[in-house]
Amino acid sequence: MTETAGASALDAARDLVRREGRGVTEVAEHLDDTFLAAVDLLTACTGKVFVTGSGTSGAIARRMAHLLAVCGTPSVFLPAMDALHGTMGAVVSGDVLITISRGGESAELNDLSTRVQQRGVPVMAITAARGSTLGTLADLTVVLDVSEQVDPGGVIAMGSTLVAAVWGDALAYVLMRARGYGWDEVLFTHPAGAVGRIRELPDALPGLDGHGRPDPA
């Protein structure tokens, strides 16, 4: 690559990262009463939280389910098409389904969401389109409508999926605090890898002691 071409490539890469970074930062302004309603919904869940999505949103759904579980909210990633071939039988009353879809018009996600509702399972949608099929059918709709500039051409779901991911991170973190889920429990359920070799508990989360209980101080 020539020096000129290299400089152009770096400029393009830096511009994309900055645009995505601005989109992620905007999420803080989307944390409102809907976010609190999501916290209440998952806190009251007596079963499992299933998270689904297709394409890039499916990758974010898998990540969200993993991090919710790590932080003390029992969660499982549910591939939508597999669910429509019978795995949906695992979703029962007492569970919650989180469906992630930027446009809200993925037929398999909407079919799955509608069917689990018929089994008494509430659906929380994370979408950029409140008036979409998913946005209107969900019991709770979280709208993350950031600038289209976060996605190249407004088509390739790069920044928009990062936006959904960081919103889910905030949800997992707040639920961890609300449940009093301590580092001792996190480390017990994560015995593998570098995390599994940690022998001293990390600093307590703000307002909690190292075991996840409210700090009397």
Number of structural domains (the chain) is: 1
167 contacts 144 by C-beta, under 8 angstroms: yes
User: For residue 212, is it within any domain?
Assistant: no
Closest CA to 57 of 102, 124, 22, 109: 102
User: For residue 53, is it within any domain?
Assistant: yes
User: For residue 101, is it within any domain?
Assistant: yes
Alpha carbon distances (Å) from 117 to 93, 138, 176? 9, 9, 26
Q: How far is 100 from 106, CA to CA, in rounded Å?
A: 10
User: For residue 203, is it within any domain?
Assistant: no
> What tens digit of pLDDT does each residue of 47-59 get?
999 999 999 999 9
Domain residues for 124? Answer: 3-191
User: For residue 201, is it within any domain?
Assistant: no
Q: How far is 129 from 126, CA to CA, in rounded Å?
A: 9
The structure's pTM equals 0.91
> What tens digit of pLDDT does each residue of 2-48 get?
878 777 899 999 999 999 999 999 999 889 999 999 999 999 999 99
Q: Span 92-97, mean pLDDT?
A: 98
Report the CATH number that the domain containing residue 166 is assigned in CATH.
3.40.50.10490
User: For residue 200, is it within any domain?
Assistant: no
